[in-house]
Chain A
Amino acid sequence: MKGYLSPPVEVRKLARLIGADAEDLAYFERLEGQTIRDLRDQVTVVMFDADRQLLQRVATATKLIPAKLAAVIGERAFGALLCARITGLLDPSRAVDIANHLPVTFLSDLSLHLDPRRASRVIGEMPPAKVAAIAAELADSEEYIAMGGFVGHLSKAALLAALDAVDDESLLRTAYVIEAKQNIAALVALLPEERLDDIIATASSADLWIEALDVLDHVTERQRGVLGDLAAAQDDEVLDSMVRAALSDGLWSEVLPVVRAMSPESRKRFATLKSIQARRVLKTIIEAAAEDSLWAELLVLLPLLPTTARRQVAALATAFDRGTFEEIMSSAHEEELWPALIAFAAELDKGPRREIAKLIDQSDADVLESLLSAVHDDSREADLVAVLRELSATGQRRLGTRIAAAPTEQLDALTEAAEAAALEPLRKALTK
C-alpha cells in the first residue's frame, strides 16, 4: 500500500474543489490515484488563479479595516469558500486575528475549502485551542479528508490539541486519507501508548483494519514493532478480527511486515493464533508473500507456526517454481534467515526440497559460506543434511568438496550429521 493513493478518496477531494458531487465524477475512479492527485493539483492552481487579482486586492483592502469587522464581512459577504481562497494571501498573523473573531462552525466550513499548502503559514500560527475546536467540529461532520490535509502544517502544540479533541475512530479515518503520508510517523510519535492501545482496539471494534494497517505501513520500523506488540497483547478477538480483515480485504502484505517487526514473544503469539492455522488463510499469506516478495516476513513466521500449520505451508510450497525458491533463498541470504529456511526446507516434500538442494549446490561461494556459518550457529546441520540428501551422489560429492574448505568446527558438525544420516557421498567428500 506504500505510496498508494486511493482513487475514491482522490475523487472526493477533486469534487470538493470544484463544488461537485463525487458521484458525478465517479468515472475518474478508473484512473490511478496519483493521476487524480496530479489533476487536482492543476485544478487547484486554476481555481486559485482564476480570480487571483481581485482576491489579492481584497486581501490588501482587509488591512484597512479592524480584524473584527473583517471577520463580519468575511462571514456575511464572502462566505467560507471565498474566505478560504483569500486566507493564503493574508499576512498570517492578520489571518489568525481575523479567525479569532469568527465562529468555529464558519472556520471549519472554511477549512473544507482551504488548500493547506497555500495557507501553510496561517495554519501553522493558529492557536491550539482554536485548532482543537475546529478539529472536533470536522470530526463531528466526518470531514476526515479536510482534517488529513492539515497534518504537516499545524504546530506541534496545535496537533496535540487536535489529537485530544478527536476520538479514535475519527483519528484512524483521518490518518487513512492524510495528504502527507510521510507525517504519519510524527503523528504516531505524539500519541501515548495507552492511546495507541485504544486505537488498535477501535480498529477491531469499528472494523477499521484497512485504515489501521495503512497507518502501520507508513510508520517507522521501530513504531511498527511497538504497535505490533500492542496489537499482539490484545485479546484473541482483536487479532482474529485483523486476520479476518487481512483475509477478506487482501491485507497480508500490510500485516506480514508488522508481524516481522514485533518482538519474538508477540510474533509467537500471532503465529499460534487459531485463526491463522486454516489452510485458506495460510494460502493467502503465501500468495501475498509471493506477490510482494515478502519472503523474509514469511520466514520469520514459519518456525513459530504449530507443526500442522507448517506442514500445510510445506504442502502449499510444492506449487512453487524454481524462480520462487531462488527469491526465497536470496531473501534468506540478504536478511540472514538461513536457519528458518533450512528448517522449513527440511520439512518440505521431496520435490521442493530437491530444488533447494540444487540451488545450494549452485550457490556462490559467499552465499554458501553464510549459509554454513548460520546453520552451524543454530545447530541446524541435521536439517541441512536432510535437504542435501536430495542431491545425486555426484551433486553431494561436488558440494561436499566445496564445503570441505569451511572452518573445522563447521566441517566436523556437518560430517557428523552426514554420518548420522548415512549420507555417504557427502560424508566422504567432507572428510577428504
Chain B
Amino acid sequence: MSDAARRILKPELGGVVPGGLESLTEDELSEFAAMLRAAKLGQSEQLEAAVDEALEIVPRILRRPVRKILFG
C-alpha cells in the first residue's frame, strides 16, 4: 500500500486502508477522503434532524420513554 493512501485515508476509514490503491494520486485520494468525510457528516446531521422530527410525530404519551432511550 502506498504511504499516501495510508496517510490520507486512514483517518476516514477507521484506521483500516485496503491495499491496491497505489495508482491513485494524492489529489484523488484527498478528494475521496473529503467525500467520505462529507458523507459521514451529512449522515450524522440527517440522523439528528430525523430524531428531532420523529419526536414531534411520536404521541405525547410515548415521548418521555422514547426520549429516555434516545438520549439516556
Q: Which residues on A are within 8 Å of B, measured CB to CB? A: 17-20, 24-25, 27-28, 30-32, 34-35, 38-39, 41-43, 45-47, 49-51, 54-55, 57-58, 60-61, 64-65, 69, 72-73, 76-79, 81-82, 85
Smallest CB separation, A414 vs chain B (Å) = 56
A-B contact list, 28 entries, CB within 8 Å: A18-B36, A18-B39, A19-B42, A24-B35, A25-B35, A27-B25, A31-B24, A35-B19, A35-B21, A38-B19, A41-B18, A42-B16, A43-B13, A45-B14, A45-B16, A46-B12, A51-B47, A55-B47, A57-B69, A57-B70, A61-B69, A64-B62, A64-B66, A65-B62, A69-B57, A77-B57, A78-B54, A79-B46
User: Which one of B44, B48, B56, B65 contacts A64 once the chains associate, using CB atoms below 8 Å?
Assistant: B65
Per the bound structure, the CA–CA distance linking A123 and B24 in Å amounts to 36
How many contacting A-B pairs (Cβ < 8 A)? 109
Per the bound structure, the CA–CA distance linking A79 and B51 in Å amounts to 11
Q: Is the CB of B69 within 8 A of A31?
A: no
Answer whether A42 and B58 are a contact pair too, CB < 8 Å, given A32-B20, A82-B50: no
Per the bound structure, the CA–CA distance linking A20 and B42 in Å amounts to 12
Per the bound structure, the CA–CA distance linking A31 and B51 in Å amounts to 39
Per the bound structure, the CA–CA distance linking A72 and B50 in Å amounts to 12
Q: Is the CB of B35 within 8 A of A47?
A: no
Answer whether A65 and B19 are a contact pair too, CB < 8 Å, given A42-B13, A54-B51: no
The answer to whether B43 has its CB under 8 Å from any CB of chain A is: yes
Smallest CB separation, A417 vs chain B (Å) = 57
Chain B interface size, under 10 / 10 to 19 / 20 to 34 / 35 or more: 35 or more
Q: Is the CB of A81 within 8 A of B18?
A: no
Q: Which chain B residues border A65 with CB–CB below 8 Å? A: 58, 62, 66
Per the bound structure, the CA–CA distance linking A44 and B21 in Å amounts to 17
User: Which one of B25, B35, B53, B70 contacts A20 once the chains associate, using CB atoms below 8 Å?
Assistant: B35
A38-B20, A46-B13, A47-B43 are known; give 12 further A-B pairs, CB within 8 A.
A28-B24, A30-B23, A34-B20, A45-B16, A54-B48, A57-B69, A58-B51, A77-B54, A77-B56, A78-B50, A79-B50, A82-B50
> In the complex, what residue of chain A is closest to B16 when comparing beta carbons?
A42
Answer whether A51 and B43 are a contact pair too, CB < 8 Å, given A57-B69, A64-B69: yes
Q: Which chain A residues border B19 with CB–CB below 8 Å? A: 35, 38
Per the bound structure, the CA–CA distance linking A229 and B40 in Å amounts to 51
Q: Which residues on B are within 8 Å of A, measured CB to CB? A: 12-14, 16-21, 23-25, 28, 32, 35-36, 39-40, 42-44, 46-48, 50-51, 53-54, 56-59, 62, 65-66, 69-71
Per the bound structure, the CA–CA distance linking A30 and B69 in Å amounts to 46
Answer whether A46 and B18 are a contact pair too, CB < 8 Å, given A55-B47, A76-B57, A82-B47: no
Q: Is the CB of A58 within 8 A of B70?
A: yes
Answer whether A50 and B43 are a contact pair too, CB < 8 Å, given A35-B21, A76-B53, A77-B53: yes
> In the complex, what residue of chain B is closest to A83 when comparing beta carbons?
B50
Per the bound structure, the CA–CA distance linking A326 and B18 in Å amounts to 40
Q: Is the CB of B46 within 8 A of A46?
A: no
Q: Which chain A residues border B28 with CB–CB below 8 Å? A: 27
Per the bound structure, the CA–CA distance linking A45 and B39 in Å amounts to 13
Q: Which chain A residues border B36 with CB–CB below 8 Å? A: 18, 43, 46
Answer whether A20 and B39 are a contact pair too, CB < 8 Å, given A58-B70, A64-B69: yes
Q: Which chain B residues border A54 with CB–CB below 8 Å? A: 47-48, 51, 70
Q: Which chain A residues border B17 with CB–CB below 8 Å? A: 42
Per the bound structure, the CA–CA distance linking A187 and B61 in Å amounts to 49
